[in-house]
């Protein structure tokens, strides 16, 4: 420990329509530790919602996007370490993982602990590798075509039929009923998220997600399964309930084991009306609904922190089924001075948060 | 009518006194009336359908449709994935 309190940096701080995991991770960590933690937020945008949510962060810093350059990113991370003494990072965004893997020698030299999946595991779970992965693991996956132009989309439509799921390469999906809707969805998704767009055969059923921790050796020591109860236009779980479904957990275990996954992940599954389970996606970090696992009795973010610090995993009994959440969106209030701090100085401290109304 | 491979599904059901039934495998919840509750509890105890029907007939003498009612209830449970009815007997 570098300071008086264990200092954990957490990213993925925006709880918007496409919710990021940071807030749930932080809430879980704060509940787990008997000793108070110092939580440092790693933000990429001055309007990341957690910057203005009371009680979440002790400090927050702006960073350049991982895509800017590894050097700029590392320089900023080391500046933050100078100021706060970061003991561990829990990355909560997909785009950070390849970069942090690249920077891991420097992080290690600075005694900044972080659990990262292996490069090969990351590659194998990519959306455009899903069919190959499912074949290797013997897990069903809805038939999928990678499409980069309208001609390829038309071919996919005729091969897969309607309804059809048209998906962005990272997130966002639309269920379309005909060729015109498919073209509109393709244009929108490619413009917003880039290529390749994926066309996937529609399977009717319930969506199940499993948040899991892999030990990197093929074991899945901790996992919690849920069924989505409220799904947003983007396909995100606005509400969910924990479940005990051995068949869902079995597929999740095969995926985590088959990838030799190290660290936190989310396995997205669909159970069809005839009880067949399909693998939809593997996300390479803990999900936005992660606090549900803590509420159900298995604090996965805390376990991941212990793993990062090289400590034994906490012992939990089986989690409770029937614990549910409904996401409750509210307004996090900020003032001009808050924006000034984060934009001008790249830093915001809870201790100096504006308390007066107006410009202050 | 007989049931197959339903023991694990039935055993995991949480059934409250007031008829609230929770299936922890799916997270789905249902409400059952007192008769439905009695049938579910009996199934959970592993009692044969014929015995349950016979008992209900004794409790409600003169009601001619009890066997059909129990079969209908089992079909509903089958549709909900709570019990499995062998294929040749499925609705």
According to DSSP, residue A39 is labeled E
Considering only CB atoms, B25 lies closest to which of A226, A244, A324, namely A244
Q: Least CA distance to B27: which residue of chain A?
A: A243
pLDDT for the residue A92: 97
Yes or no, beta carbons of B24 and A324 under 8 Å apart:
no
Q: Is A333 left (phi over 0), alpha (psi -120 to 50) or beta?
A: beta
Q: Least CA distance to A239: which residue of chain B?
A: B27
Which runs of E-coded beta strand occur in chain A? 7-10, 38-43, 59-62, 88-90, 144-147, 164-167, 173-176, 197-201, 205-215, 222-231, 237-243, 262-272, 277-283, 324-326, 347-349
Give chain A positions within 8 Å (CB) of B25. Answer: 243-246
Yes or no, beta carbons of B26 and A227 under 8 Å apart:
yes
Give me the total of CB pairs closer than 8 Å, taking one residue from chain A and one from chain B.
25
Which runs of E-coded beta strand occur in A195-245? 197-201, 205-215, 222-231, 237-243
Question: Helices (H) and strands (E) in chain B — how many of each?
Answer: 4, 3
Give chain B positions within 8 Å (CB) of A321. Answer: 24, 27
Helix (H, G, I), strand (E, B) or coil at A10: strand
Instruction: Give the confidence band of A357 by pLDDT, cuts at 50, 70, 90.
Output: very low
Q: Per-residue pLDDT tens for A284-343?
A: 999 999 999 999 999 999 999 999 999 999 999 999 999 999 999 999 999 999 988 999
Q: Per-residue pLDDT tens for A227-263?
A: 999 998 878 899 999 999 999 999 999 999 999 999 9
Q: How far from the centroid of its chain's Cα atoms is residue A359's Cα?
A: 35
Phi and psi at residue A116, to the nearest 5°: -130, 145
- The whole-angstrom separation of Cα A269 and Cα A128 is 16
Yes or no, beta carbons of B26 and A243 under 8 Å apart:
yes
Q: How far from the centroid of its chain's Cα atoms is residue A190's Cα?
A: 21
Name the residue among A314, A327, A200, A221 with its Cα closest to residue A268. A200
Yes or no, beta carbons of A245 and B26 under 8 Å apart:
yes
pLDDT for the residue B1: 57
Average pLDDT score, chain A: 93
Name the residue among A190, A186, A189, A229 with its Cα closest to residue A209. A229
pTM summary value: 0.89
Give chain B positions within 8 Å (CB) of A324. Answer: 27
Q: Per-residue pLDDT tens for B14-43?
A: 999 999 999 999 999 999 999 999 999 999
Yes or no, beta carbons of A244 and B81 under 8 Å apart:
no
Yes or no, beta carbons of B14 and A322 under 8 Å apart:
yes
- What is the sign of the dihedral through the CA atoms of B44, B47, B50 and B54? negative
Residues 6+ apart with CB under 8 A from A277: A139, A140, A208, A247, A248, A251, A269, A270, A271
| Exposure string over A48-78, b if 16+ CB within 10 A, otherwise e | bbbbbbeebbbbbbbbeebeeeeeebbebbb
pLDDT for the residue A196: 87
Yes or no, beta carbons of B26 and A321 under 8 Å apart:
no
Helix (H, G, I), strand (E, B) or coil at A172: coil
Give chain A positions within 8 Å (CB) of B24. Answer: 243-244, 321-322
Output A304 or A129, whichever has higher pLDDT. Answer: A304
Give chain B positions within 8 Å (CB) of A319. Answer: none
- The whole-angstrom distance between B55's CA and the closest CA on chain A is 33
According to DSSP, residue A113 is labeled B
- The whole-angstrom separation of Cα B83 and Cα B76 is 9
pLDDT for the residue A351: 47
Yes or no, beta carbons of A322 and B22 under 8 Å apart:
yes
Give chain A positions within 8 Å (CB) of B81. Answer: 275
Instruction: Give the confidence band of A59 by pLDDT, cuts at 50, 70, 90.
Output: very high
Tell me how far CA of residue A313 lies from CA of A28, A205, A213, A215, in angstroms. 15, 35, 10, 10
- The whole-angstrom distance between A226's CA and the closest CA on chain B is 8
| Exposure string over A115-125, b if 16+ CB within 10 A, otherwise e | bbbeeebbebb
Average pLDDT score, chain B: 85
Q: Per-residue pLDDT tens for A158-173?
A: 999 999 999 988 777 8
Tell me how far CA of residue A219 lies from CA of A88, A223, A250, A297, B55, in angstroms. 23, 11, 12, 20, 49
Answer yes or no: are the C-beta atoms of A329 and A350 closer than 8 Å.
no
Give chain B positions within 8 Å (CB) of A318. Answer: none
What is the percent of chain A with per-residue pLDDT over 90, rounded to a whole number?
83
- Parallel/antiparallel/unpaired status of strands A205-215 and A237-243: unpaired
> ipTM of this predicted complex?
0.75
Q: Is the pLDDT of residue A356 over 60?
A: no
- The whole-angstrom distance between B73's CA and the closest CA on chain A is 20
| Exposure string over A333-343, b if 16+ CB within 10 A, otherwise e | ebbebbbebbe
């Amino acid at each position: 420990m570098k300071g008086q309190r264990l200092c954990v940096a957490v990213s993925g701080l925006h709880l918007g329509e496409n919710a990021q995991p940071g807030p749930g991770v932080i809430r879980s960590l704060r509940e787990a530790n008997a000793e108070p933690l110092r939580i440092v937020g790693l933000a990429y945008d001055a309007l990341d919602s957690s910057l203005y949510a009371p009680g979440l962060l002790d400090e927050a810093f702006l960073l350049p996007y991982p895509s800017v350059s590894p050097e700029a990113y590392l320089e900023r991370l080391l500046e933050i370490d100078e100021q706060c003494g970061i003991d561990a990072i829990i990355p909560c965004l997909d785009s950070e993982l390849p970069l942090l893997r690249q920077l891991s020698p420097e992080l290690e030299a600075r005694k900044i602990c972080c659990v990262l999946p292996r490069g090969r595991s990351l590659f194998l779970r990519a959306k455009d590798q899903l069919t190959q992965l499912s074949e290797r693991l013997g897990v069903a996956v809805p038939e999928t075509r990678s499409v980069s132009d309208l001609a390829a989309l038309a071919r996919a439509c005729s091969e897969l039929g309607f309804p059809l799921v048209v998906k962005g390469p990272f997130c966002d999906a639309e269920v379309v009923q005909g060729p015109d809707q498919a073209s509109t969805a393709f244009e929108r998704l490619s413009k917003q998220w880039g290529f390749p767009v994926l066309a996937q055969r529609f399977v009717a059923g319930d969506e199940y997600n499993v948040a899991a921790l892999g030990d990197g050796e093929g074991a899945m020591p901790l996992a919690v399964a849920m069924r989505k109860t409220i799904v947003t236009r983007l396909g995100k779980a606005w509400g969910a309930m924990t479940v005990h479904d051995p068949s869902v957990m079995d597929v999740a275990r095969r995926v985590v084991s088959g990838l030799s996954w190290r660290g936190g992940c989310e396995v997205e599954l669909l159970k069809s009306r005839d009880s067949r389970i399909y693998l939809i996606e593997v996300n390479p970090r803990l999900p936005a609904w992660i606090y549900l696992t803590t509420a159900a009795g298995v604090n996965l973010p805390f376990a991941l922190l212990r793993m990062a610090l090289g400590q034994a995993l906490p012992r939990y009994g089986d989690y409770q089924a029937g614990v549910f959440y409904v996401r409750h969106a509210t307004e996090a209030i900020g003032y001009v001075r808050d924006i000034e701090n984060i934009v001008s100085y790249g830093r915001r401290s809870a201790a100096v948060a504006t308390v007066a109304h107006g410009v202050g | 009518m007989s049931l197959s491979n339903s023991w694990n599904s039935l055993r995991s059901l949480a059934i409250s006194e007031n008829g609230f039934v929770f299936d922890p495998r799916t997270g789905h919840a249902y409400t059952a009336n007192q008769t439905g509750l009695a049938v579910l509890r009996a199934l959970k105890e592993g009692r044969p359908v014929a015995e349950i029907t016979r008992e209900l007939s004794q409790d409600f003498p003169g009601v001619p449709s009890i066997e059909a009612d129990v079969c209908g209830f089992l079909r509903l449970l089958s549709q909900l994935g709570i019990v499995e009815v062998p294929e040749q007997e499925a609705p």
